[in-house]
């Protein structure tokens, strides 16, 4: 009886004081309101805008007045003559990036860990982190300069050592495009991506190395027996994220370096196609549908990757 009264009074007390409590911390609430409003406008309203994938969006009518067409745009994409080519490019470019740009920073971190000369180590780190901070426009500018036919450094060097007689127009030949994209991405990301692994390696218990050395394991063996197993959880987490991003084959790099009619057949991926179809040709509903198709598969991939990782004891959530 008594306790009932008490809980009741607590309840009413709570109810009464909600507005009081809210206005009591109004200054605190005012801190978060601007940020939340911007997130609402620029993240949540576009999420609602995704519905136009199921409409024939009319710029003059807006979303309210446009007609609903169901899955028509999705069907249109699947029967698009470029569908297979775009999916192939997406998977190949993304796959090559995972195959090469994902393990490379791990190897760099492992190598840097063996370097005992601190000045040398710091110099390599400073140089390799730098490209991360350059824009793709600049990186593409470097690539164009180095690979150019009129005395670009690569053609110059290849001619000098006698490997080729005529300069090769690397950036205009589709066969070279994937190699160029992967190399420029590797160049830009290897150093910066290694930071996390360097930190993880620094956290490995030194006693493990001492024990292994006493047991007669060489430095080379210690890398495989101690360092790599110790940082495996982090590698797995980053790998999951990477797989979840499988359909993000790249955007700025492909737009800048692959932006010529000859290269479209190897450079167009889902994201660049959405841009060309949507912004370029103004087919908003069609482009949104393609984007949504990609988003749905991405969520599926991430879930699948996490499921596999969880079965092996490392998971993201």
Partner 1 sequence: MIKPTFGDRIMIVSIYIFLILLGFVTFYPFWNSLVISFNSGQDTMLGGVTFWPRDFTLENYQIVFQDKRLLNAFLISVLRTVIGTFLSVLVTALLAYGLSKKELIGRKFFMIFCLLTMFFSGGLIPTFLLVRGIGLMDSFWAMIIPTLVLVWNMIIFRTFFQQLPKGLEESAKIDGCGNWQIFFRIVLPLSGPVIATLSLFTAVFHWNDWFFPSIYISSENLIPIQTLLRQVLNSNTVTSQMSQLDAGALAHMSNVAKVTGKSLSMATMMVATIPIILVYPFVQKHFVKGVLIGSLKE
Segment 236 to 295, residues that bind partner 1, using CB under 8 A: 237, 241, 251-252, 255-256, 259-260, 271, 274-275, 278-279, 284, 287-288, 291-292, 295
For residues 14 and 88, what is the distance between their CA atoms, to the nearest angstrom? 59
- List Cα–Cα distances, 204 to 201, 208, 235, 241, in angstroms: 5, 8, 14, 23
CA 66 to chain centre: 34
The nearer residue to partner 1, 1 or 317, going by C-beta atoms, is 317
Which residues between 194 and 213 bind partner 1 (CB under 8 A)? 195-196, 199, 213
Among 65, 95, 103, 141, binds partner 1 (CB under 8 A): 141
Both tokens of 239, joined, read: 């790998």
Of 73-81, 82-90, 95-103, 131-139, which segment contacts partner 1 by CB under 8 A? 131-139
**What is the rounded radius of gyration, in angstroms, for the C-alpha atoms of the chain?**
27
The Cα–Cα gap between 220 and 232 comes to 17
Distance CA 283, CA 298 (A): 23
Which residue, 234 or 308, has its beta carbon nearer to partner 1? Answer: 234
240, with CB counted inside 10 A (0-12, 13-18, 19+), is buried
Interface size with partner 1, residues (CB under 8 A): 92
The alpha carbon dihedral of 72, 73, 79, 81 has a sign of: positive
CB of 248 to partner 1, least distance (A): 12
Question: From the CB of residue 305, how many other CB atoms can be counted at a distance below 10 Å?
Answer: 21
Q: How far is the CB of 10 from partner 1 (least distance, A)?
A: 17
User: Quick check: 232 binds partner 1 (CB under 8 A)?
Assistant: no
CA distance 186 to 99: 11
Among 1, 5, 31, 161, binds partner 1 (CB under 8 A): 31
Q: Which one of 22-30, 71-79, 81-89, 225-233 is the stretch in contact with partner 1 (CB under 8 A)?
A: 22-30
Decide if residue 307 touches partner 1 (CB under 8 A): no
Binding of residue 12 to partner 1 (CB under 8 A): no
Of residues 4, 5, 34, 175, which one binds partner 1 by CB under 8 A?
34
Residue of 7, 13, 15, 28 interacting with partner 1 (CB under 8 A) = 28
| Residue 60 touches partner 1, criterion: CB under 8 A | no
Distances (CA, A) of 309 to 91, 106, 279, 317: 21, 19, 38, 10
Q: How far is the CB of 99 from partner 1 (least distance, A)?
A: 19
Structure tokens at 32: 């978060």
Tokens linked to 99: 């195959």
Residue 164, interface with partner 1 (CB under 8 A)? no
| Closest CB 141 distance from partner 1, rounded Å | 5
Note whether 263 and 177 are within 8 A (CB).
yes
CB of 264 to partner 1, least distance (A): 15
Distance CA 13, CA 7 (A): 10
Q: How far is the CB of 3 from partner 1 (least distance, A)?
A: 27
49 is an interface residue for partner 1 by CB under 8 A: yes
Residue 266 Cβ, how far from partner 1 at the closest point, in Å? 18
Question: CB of residue 175 vs partner 1: minimum separation in angstroms?
Answer: 20
The token duo for 79 is: 């029967």
């Amino acid at each position: 009886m008594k306790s009932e009264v008490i809980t009741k009074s607590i309840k009413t007390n709570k109810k009464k004081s909600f507005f009081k409590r809210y206005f009591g911390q109004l200054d605190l609430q005012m801190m978060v309101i601007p940020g939340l409003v911007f997130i609402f406008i620029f993240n949540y309203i576009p999420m609602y805008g995704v519905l136009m994938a199921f409409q024939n969006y009319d710029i003059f009518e807006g979303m309210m007045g446009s007609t609903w067409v169901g899955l028509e745009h999705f069907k249109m994409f699947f029967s698009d003559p470029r569908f297979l080519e775009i999916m192939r490019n997406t998977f190949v470019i993304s796959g090559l990036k995972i195959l090469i740009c994902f393990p490379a920073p791990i190897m760099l971190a492992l190598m840097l860990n063996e370097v005992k000369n601190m000045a040398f180590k710091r110099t390599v780190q400073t140089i390799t982190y730098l490209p991360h901070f350059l824009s793709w426009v600049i990186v593409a500018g470097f690539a164009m300069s180095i690979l150019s036919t009129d005395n670009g450094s690569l053609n110059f060097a290849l001619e000098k050592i006698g490997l080729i007689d005529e300069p090769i127009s690397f950036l205009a030949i589709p066969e070279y495009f994937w190699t160029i994209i992967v190399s420029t991405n590797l160049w830009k990301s290897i150093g910066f991506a290694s930071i996390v692994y360097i930190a993880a390696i620094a956290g490995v218990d030194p006693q493990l190395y001492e024990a292994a050395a006493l047991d007669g394991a060489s430095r080379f063996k210690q890398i495989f027996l101690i360092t790599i197993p110790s940082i495996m959880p982090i590698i797995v987490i980053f790998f999951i994220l990477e797989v979840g991003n499988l359909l993000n084959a790249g955007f700025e790099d492909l737009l800048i370096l692959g932006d010529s009619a000859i290269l479209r057949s190897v450079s167009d991926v889902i994201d660049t196609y959405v841009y060309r179809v949507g912004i370029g040709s103004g087919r908003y509903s069609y482009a949104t549908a393609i984007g949504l198709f990609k988003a749905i598969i991405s969520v599926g991939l991430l879930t699948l990757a996490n499921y596999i990782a969880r079965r092996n004891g490392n998971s993201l959530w």
